Structure 1
């Protein structure tokens, strides 16, 4: 328990109400801008996880949620979306205080989260099965989709509310109940969000939140016998561990993991527009985005002029207080991530890459958890700076000769989350999007996403898809029913 009674205190949210931690422990959550502790958060363990999962299980099996029609669930989701929209500024302020993201971006994300819920609210009563024409006489076969049950949602610190909504909305529309484990760095906004769903009329147990650390909360949640599916967004190392644990219990997973996405600029592109796309791809959100375009592939003939334009665009960028609407780049969200980014900058220098912008921390800003936008040239694709996810404002620039060279370099990483192509040539754009191995590809734009379009990765960037119509199927079992119209059962020793 915090000794400072002036600090807000966040409990778990279980069975429709705030719930103190079973062992009475709390931990601090700090503001990346000023480095100060602003709240205390419940430190959960396996006891809290079991309490939350069993509440979700009851709500799924016998609670009011299980007897609601899909249309009734959709109306509740719509009501929750309206409440979220009305409280967007408050939710955004809490999230921004936890992770240092720009307030202008977080407010927009929370408002868009409401649209996300409304999209899936509209899909809740449109999950249609099919009658199957079979080759068997005297039987009638059809499919039905059934909610899997209790869903574990584990989300990271960079966009906690947005990335939770990507899983929460289709899970609720499918008829599932959920237990959310937010990042220990950004727990407060998720607890606040759960209370809004209760205010909207969601029955107790449908949405539960257990806060704490991975080994103490995340692992027991993944391994719990009543959890049927795990939706995770985060790093590939943690994703692999979750996949291993899930496999040992035959649970299904949706894993949205890391990226090392290529942003490919050809010599026929509109270079001024491409510069803005490159900046959006790597320096927006302080580079703390799984889909960041952290590898800039430049056709050799425009390499130097493009770098000049890029450096000119970045010379007046504003670093500072993320609550100031004029700020363009805020602090790194966590101290461990801050130190990791700085270590990668030193690795890049040691491997022979040349730093032409940034490369330093800014101890003069806020609590000092700032890193200047950093650009490296003379990068070879085999360097660690080009192969490993830095998750910060660090751009690796790699020259290429032609389409085949760009495709080879673009695909030559363990990841396959996203990528972009900048060209005026439609044939070239089609060739590149056909052959680049990534779940999302943009042409002459970067970082656009929508609740209507699927998102996910190839290779080590994950399993399954989020968003769009098909995402709802991640939370459904498919059942096939065979009904006989024969009056007599055929020979029981011969398979029909």
Structure 2
């Protein structure tokens, strides 16, 4: 394919109207490897002017792209999905270098990201309308879905590939054009995905990329009338800011925000499966996942056995550079992230929690942002880790005896993204799942995110859905055409 495996020391990162811009060396941002703290490359530190140009390019490209048939648009998405899967190892290595997660996990993310493009390549031809039977003999009514227009897509660092395709896939399938702003910590995956779209034959201006000043880029997206929708994944605080600012233009926002997922392990849970999956949820991406378990409720009749098995399995997990063989957990994304985990642990210990496993500061040879995975028991509701999103490898355990009480505890949060239960009882499955106030419920399953299903939360975990046919509806407006006939 002609692209080099090595990342250069100066990487073009602004792509507008089908052209990569030269980087002004006085306006750059350094990307670091969080495992080694070594600089990888420098990318452009773009701002308002670059964003304005990108929006203009997207607006100019919108009429042609939106008027193509769904089948025509799908060909580009099919090709991009194919290229992503073909280059999964190379893209995974880049992702690991800039984000830190183990290589196998990074390659899995890239393949999952390709899966979203494949799904929406298929959905592009299924933008069905509706014929409404009229109550008036001389009237005929039809509802036609139309693409909303230019989309501003803002994506996070924790899943720098899949979060992009989960937004761009449905937007492009629907006929929208896009200006993408990736996280400053992980712009390299975004650059490679845009190159893939370019190679797949995406027309100029349909996808544009701007890296740099988050505040300036976001402000231009919010105030520019050509942007009809902002889709954002990130913190609840930033999501609230976007909602407030978008109100001036009544601009549509689609938000996937924070979470505080509980796991409830009932007395009839399969202990081996429940402990394995609990660890997989909590320590996936080292706990830097919006849907990962943040608190664990275990029925007191199985608590000792459950905790011992959890400890045994955790102590077999290896922490290190994600590019090294056999590593299960990489670094956190920043020193600030590590400090937050340590503060939550300190708070829990001060309030009576006991360490089951881990708990020490990183003493390994690598100087990156490492934090040993830790389990604590005797967690109480007043601890920060039981109330705030930790976003790191700290797992608190609280026991319970009463089903109604543990449901109340699980629901006692402003977040409502994902929740998980372990039980072999069908009646309990339905009863508890219906009462949990979350957008997604996993029953003996901690990985609910797949291209064909809707992903999203309630309460302060966001609005709108990503994934499935539901995800494409975010990028469509329904137009009523009412026709009077003789």
Q: TM-score, normalised by structure 1?
A: 0.94
Matches within 5 A, 1:348-367: 348-367=348-367
Taking a change above 3 Å as real, the CA distance of residues 149 and 21 of structure 1, as seen in their structure-2 partners, is: farther
| 2:58 paired with 1:56 | yes
CA positional deviation for 1:6: 6.3
Q: Name the residue aligned to 2:142.
A: 142
Taking a change above 3 Å as real, the CA distance of residues 66 and 436 of structure 1, as seen in their structure-2 partners, is: closer
**Which secondary structure state, in structure 2, belongs to the residue aligned with residue 301 of structure 1?**
coil
Q: Please give the per-residue CA displacement for 1:156-178, whole angstroms capped at 9, x wherever unaligned.
A: 10001101111110001100000
CA positional deviation for 1:24: 4.8
Asked if 1 retains the 8 angstrom alpha-carbon contact of 2:380 and 2:386, the reply is yes
Matches within 5 A, 1:78-227: 78-227=78-227
**Which secondary structure state, in structure 2, belongs to the residue aligned with residue 146 of structure 1?**
strand
CA positional deviation for 1:391: 0.3
Q: Name the residue aligned to 1:493.
A: none
Taking a change above 3 Å as real, the CA distance of residues 386 and 355 of structure 1, as seen in their structure-2 partners, is: same
CA distance in 1, matches of 2:77, 2:327: 34
CA positional deviation for 1:248: 2.1
Q: Name the residue aligned to 2:41.
A: 39
Q: Name the residue aligned to 2:254.
A: 254
Q: Name the residue aligned to 1:289.
A: 289
Q: Please give the per-residue CA displacement for 1:378-419, whole angstroms capped at 9, x wherever unaligned.
A: 111232210100100111211111210111111011111111
Higher deviation after alignment, 277-286 or 330-339: 330-339
Taking a change above 3 Å as real, the CA distance of residues 427 and 365 of structure 1, as seen in their structure-2 partners, is: farther
CA distance in 2, matches of 1:121, 1:22: 36
Taking a change above 3 Å as real, the CA distance of residues 482 and 198 of structure 1, as seen in their structure-2 partners, is: same
Q: Name the residue aligned to 2:3.
A: none
Q: Name the residue aligned to 2:327.
A: 327
**Which secondary structure state, in structure 1, belongs to the residue aligned with residue 301 of structure 2?**
helix
CA positional deviation for 1:376: 1.8
CA distance in 2, matches of 1:9, 1:75: 29
Matches within 5 A, 1:385-424: 385-424=385-424
CA RMSD of superposed structures (Å) = 1.6
Q: Please give the per-residue CA displacement for 1:346-370, whole angstroms capped at 9, x wherever unaligned.
A: 2222333222222233142422411
CA positional deviation for 1:234: 0.7
CA positional deviation for 1:481: 0.5
**Which secondary structure state, in structure 2, belongs to the residue aligned with residue 222 of structure 1?**
helix
Asked if 1 retains the 8 angstrom alpha-carbon contact of 2:259 and 2:417, the reply is yes
Asked if 1 retains the 8 angstrom alpha-carbon contact of 2:73 and 2:124, the reply is yes
CA distance in 2, matches of 1:374, 1:10: 40
**Which secondary structure state, in structure 1, belongs to the residue aligned with residue 341 of structure 2?**
helix
CA distance in 1, matches of 2:455, 2:90: 28
CA distance in 1, matches of 2:218, 2:23: 15
Asked if 2 retains the 8 angstrom alpha-carbon contact of 1:101 and 1:333, the reply is no
**Which secondary structure state, in structure 1, belongs to the residue aligned with residue 161 of structure 2?**
helix
- The number of equivalent residue pairs is 480
Q: Name the residue aligned to 1:10.
A: 12
Structure 1's unaligned 5+ residue stretches are 487-496
Q: Please give the per-residue CA displacement for 1:201-246, whole angstroms capped at 9, x wherever unaligned.
A: 1101111111013212223223322111111111111111111112
Q: Please give the per-residue CA displacement for 1:57-78, whole angstroms capped at 9, x wherever unaligned.
A: 10003xx424421110011111
**Which secondary structure state, in structure 2, belongs to the residue aligned with residue 217 of structure 1?**
helix
**Which secondary structure state, in structure 1, belongs to the residue aligned with residue 302 of structure 2?**
helix
Q: Please give the per-residue CA displacement for 1:85-138, whole angstroms capped at 9, x wherever unaligned.
A: 122222211111111011101111112222221111111111110110122231
Q: Please give the per-residue CA displacement for 1:270-327, whole angstroms capped at 9, x wherever unaligned.
A: 1111100110110121000000111101112211221111111112211111012410
Q: Name the residue aligned to 2:22.
A: 20
**Which secondary structure state, in structure 1, belongs to the residue aligned with residue 143 of structure 2?**
strand
CA distance in 2, matches of 1:214, 1:381: 35
CA positional deviation for 1:339: 2.0
CA distance in 2, matches of 1:37, 1:172: 34
Higher deviation after alignment, 23-32 or 415-424: 23-32
CA distance in 1, matches of 2:66, 2:448: 36
CA distance in 2, matches of 1:212, 1:196: 21
CA distance in 2, matches of 1:485, 1:195: 50
CA distance in 2, matches of 1:257, 1:177: 23
Asked if 2 retains the 8 angstrom alpha-carbon contact of 1:303 and 1:399, the reply is yes
**Which secondary structure state, in structure 1, belongs to the residue aligned with residue 293 of structure 2?**
coil
